């Protein structure tokens, strides 16, 4: 059996890897740009029809769609830090129509609903694009496709059985000359690339233009049921709302009932210095499409507007106790591993520098897809568990929350896919060793020709997904 293309042990020169990372900024590349002036923090008390907690993609979409549905509705959004500072400004900017991490995961867990899910996902994607146009949001939107690359022999066989047009030989060399690429499939429909920070900032401006009141640096510290309303407390104020939508990603839930439904998982990213046309020609990457590989521990990579390469993924790190700390945004061990993998995939680029290296938290559920629901007598809706699909799927989740809060019976709310709760992830001291055990099982699957061990097969029988 051949060695896998990528591994946890470094294969390249440690000195070269260290030199490539020297001086890299800890600021996410997308956020290392002029940002809008922050809105003021909330001080005092106010009353509103709808309170949205969380200023990432999900919260912004919820506020925007609420005002589009009812322009007279009073909508307030609060954000604990700055708009786009967390996952919405730290991701790779891959916009997918998919709500299920691919047909295989959807077929396994939601087979009876898959056709409806795919249709609604396509509609959501098209509405997403129309929103960018309607509000003139410059999110650096590019719909040039994504190349999925097989780096292992068993992945080639899986592609050949898929029925898709598989690129090999000269066709593959026309889109990538990476020595680890054995075959590939090019997807053009319902995928795109965006600048995620610009997208979030654009949605923020659209919300403000419709009259949404946005308060940054305003964390919600408590949620109380107050009969016909709910009351949310902040450090310097209080909000009484007829309805509330919670869009807090993997941060601690204001609703304790959901505390075990997700865990915060850290993902890490590198960005290179700008590459020349000659360098891009050497690696066979002259188009504007994005790329990903097909392992469970997968990489995602794409070009920025100024022809840097963003390279992320592979490691997915859980910190004991579900802890979320700024210090976790930096992980030299993972940065070294990502740099080593980058030079394995693109050996002709050895010697270039990485200008940015950062991490961020995403919310992972055992469904591997988001879930929505109601609480406190239908006055509070929540959405969580996007597990890497948040750029596009958050718009769908926002729509489901608003449907639920309005008591509307829609095709979205009738899907068990959208509202079924994920299998809970146990508390400590069980969670940490259990997650590490699963990480090892996933790594062994990638190293053993894609053959899943008993643990992964057992978890999938319980509805716990582990697709890439």
Average pLDDT over residues 352-369: 93
- Can you spell out the DSSP letters for 116-164? HHHHHHHHHHHHHHHHHHHTT-----B---EEEEE-SHHHHHHHHHHTS
- The percentage of the chain sitting over the pLDDT mark of 70, rounded to a whole number, equals 94
User: In b/e form, how buried is each residue of 298-330, taking b as 16+ CB within 10 angstroms?
Assistant: bbbbbbbeebbbbbbbbbbbbbeebebeeebbe
Average pLDDT over residues 319-324: 94
Average pLDDT over residues 313-333: 96
Question: Both 103 and 152 in a single domain?
Answer: no
Give the pLDDT of residue 460. Answer: 61
Distance CA 193, CA 208 (A): 25
247-261, 295-309, 433-447, range with the lowest pLDDT: 433-447
Give the pLDDT of residue 156. Answer: 97
Task: Give the pair of three-digit tokens for residue 398.
Answer: 């926002």
Compute the C-alpha angle 359/360/362, nearest 5°.
140
Question: Both 184 and 286 in a single domain?
Answer: yes
- Name residue 69's beta-bridge partners: none
Looking at the predicted structure, is the pLDDT value of residue 468 above 50?
A: no
- The percentage of the chain sitting over the pLDDT mark of 90, rounded to a whole number, equals 84
User: Is residue 429, in this structure, part of any structural domain at all?
Assistant: yes
User: Is residue 222, in this structure, part of any structural domain at all?
Assistant: yes
User: Is residue 445, in this structure, part of any structural domain at all?
Assistant: no
Compute the C-alpha angle 114/446/438, nearest 5°.
75
| Beta strands 75-78; 44-53: pairing state | parallel
18-27, 194-203, 381-390, 450-459, range with the lowest pLDDT: 450-459
Fill in the DSSP letter of residue 462: T
User: Is residue 4, in this structure, part of any structural domain at all?
Assistant: no
User: Is residue 453, in this structure, part of any structural domain at all?
Assistant: no
User: Is residue 324, in this structure, part of any structural domain at all?
Assistant: yes
Give the pLDDT of residue 367. Answer: 82
Looking at the predicted structure, is the pLDDT value of residue 341 above 50?
A: yes
Looking at the predicted structure, is the pLDDT value of residue 183 above 60?
A: yes
Average pLDDT over residues 253-278: 94
Taking only the tens place, the pLDDT of each residue in 364-414 is 988 888 999 999 999 999 999 998 899 999 999 999 999 999 999 999 999
Question: Both 66 and 124 in a single domain?
Answer: yes
**Average pLDDT taken over every residue of the chain:** 93
Looking at the predicted structure, is the pLDDT value of residue 109 above 90?
A: no
Looking at the predicted structure, is the pLDDT value of residue 115 above 50?
A: yes
Distance CA 301, CA 146 (A): 10
User: Is residue 156, in this structure, part of any structural domain at all?
Assistant: yes
Question: Both 112 and 199 in a single domain?
Answer: yes
Question: Both 224 and 254 in a single domain?
Answer: yes
> For the domain that residue 129 is a member of, what is the CATH number?
3.50.50.60
Give the pLDDT of residue 23. Answer: 98
User: In b/e form, how buried is each residue of 407-426, taking b as 16+ CB within 10 angstroms?
Assistant: eeeeebbebebbebebbebe
Question: Both 390 and 426 in a single domain?
Answer: yes
State how many domains the chain has.
Answer: 2
Question: Both 98 and 241 in a single domain?
Answer: yes
Give the pLDDT of residue 306. Answer: 98
Give the pLDDT of residue 150. Answer: 98
Last residue of a domain, one of 307, 336, 358: 358
Fill in the DSSP letter of residue 236: T
Taking only the tens place, the pLDDT of each residue in 57-103 is 999 999 999 999 999 999 999 999 999 999 999 999 999 999 998 76
Give the pLDDT of residue 456. Answer: 61
11-25, 212-226, 244-258, 390-404, range with the lowest pLDDT: 244-258
Distance CA 461, CA 151 (A): 27
Is residue 158 within 8 A of residue 450, CB to CB? The reply is yes
Give the pLDDT of residue 114. Answer: 94
Give the pLDDT of residue 84. Answer: 97
Last residue of a domain, one of 340, 358, 376: 358
Question: Both 350 and 279 in a single domain?
Answer: yes
Domain span holding position 180: 14-32+138-188+269-358
User: Is residue 462, in this structure, part of any structural domain at all?
Assistant: no
Taking only the tens place, the pLDDT of each residue in 143-170 is 999 999 999 999 999 999 999 999 999 9
| Close Cβ partners of 357 (under 8 Å, ≥ 6 residues apart) | 21, 24, 25, 26, 268, 269, 270, 271, 330, 335
> For the domain that residue 149 is a member of, what is the CATH number?
3.30.9.10
Looking at the predicted structure, is the pLDDT value of residue 232 above 50?
A: yes
Question: Both 50 and 120 in a single domain?
Answer: yes
Distance CA 451, CA 457 (A): 10
Nearest to 254 by CA among 218, 224, 226: 224
Question: Both 24 and 121 in a single domain?
Answer: no
Question: Both 56 and 161 in a single domain?
Answer: no
Question: Both 175 and 201 in a single domain?
Answer: no
Is residue 56 within 8 A of residue 86, CB to CB? The reply is yes
Last residue of a domain, one of 358, 378, 411: 358
Greater model confidence, 193 or 252 = 193
């Amino acid at each position: 059996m051949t060695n896998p293309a990528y591994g946890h042990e470094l294969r390249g020169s440690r000195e070269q890897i260290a030199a490539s990372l020297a001086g890299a900024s800890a600021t996410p590349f997308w956020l290392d740009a002029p940002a809008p002036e922050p809105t003021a923090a909330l001080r005092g008390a106010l009353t509103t029809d709808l309170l949205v907690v969380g200023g990432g993609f999900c919260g912004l979409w919820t506020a925007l769609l609420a005002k589009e549905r009812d322009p007279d509705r009073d909508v307030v959004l609060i954000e604990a830090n700055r708009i786009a500072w967390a996952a919405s400004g730290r991701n790779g900017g891959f916009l997918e129509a998919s709500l299920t991490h691919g047909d295989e995961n959807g077929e396994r867990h939601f087979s009876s609903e898959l056709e409806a899910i795919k249709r609604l996902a396509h509609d959501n994607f098209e509405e997403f694009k129309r929103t960018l146009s309607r509000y003139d949001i410059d999110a650096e939107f590019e719909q040039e496709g994504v190349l999925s690359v097989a780096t292992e022999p068993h992945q080639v066989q899986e592609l050949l059985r898929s029925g898709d047009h598989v690129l090999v030989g000269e066709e593959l060399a026309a889109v990538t000359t990476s020595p680890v690429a054995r075959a590939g499939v090019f997807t053009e429909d319902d995928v795109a690339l965006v600048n995620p920070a610009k997208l979030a900032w654009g949605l923020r401006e659209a919300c403000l233009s419709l009259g949404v009141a946005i308060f940054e640096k305003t964390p919600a510290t408590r949620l109380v049921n107050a009969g016909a309303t709910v009351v949310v407390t902040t450090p310097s104020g209080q909000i009484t709302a007829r309805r509330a939508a919670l869009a807090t990603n993997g941060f601690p839930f204001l609703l304790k009932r959901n505390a075990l439904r997700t865990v915060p998982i850290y993902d890490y990213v590198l960005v290179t210095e700008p590459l020349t046309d000659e360098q891009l020609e050497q690696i066979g990457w002259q188009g504007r499409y994005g790329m990903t590989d097909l392992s469970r521990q997968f990489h995602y990579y794409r070009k920025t507007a100024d022809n840097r390469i963003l390279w992320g993924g592979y490691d997915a790190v859980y910190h004991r106790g579900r802890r979320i700390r700024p210090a976790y945004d930096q992980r030299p061990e993972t940065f070294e591993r990502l740099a080593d993998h980058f030079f394995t995939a693109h050996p002709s680029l050895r010697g270039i520098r990485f200008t940015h290296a950062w991490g961020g938290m995403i919310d992972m559920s055992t469904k591997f897809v988001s879930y929505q629901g109601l609480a406190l007598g239908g006055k509070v809706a929540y959405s969580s568990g996007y597990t890497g699909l948040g750029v596009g799927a958050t718009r769908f989740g926002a729509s489901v929350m608003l449907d639920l809060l309005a008591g509307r019976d829609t095709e979205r709310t009738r899907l068990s896919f959208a509202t079924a709760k994920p299998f809970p992830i146990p508390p400590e001291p069980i969670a940490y060793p259990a997650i590490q055990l699963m990480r090892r099982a996933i790594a062994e699957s990638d190293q053993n020709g894609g053959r899943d061990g008993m643990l992964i097969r057992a978890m999938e029988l319980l509805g716990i997904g582990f697709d890439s």
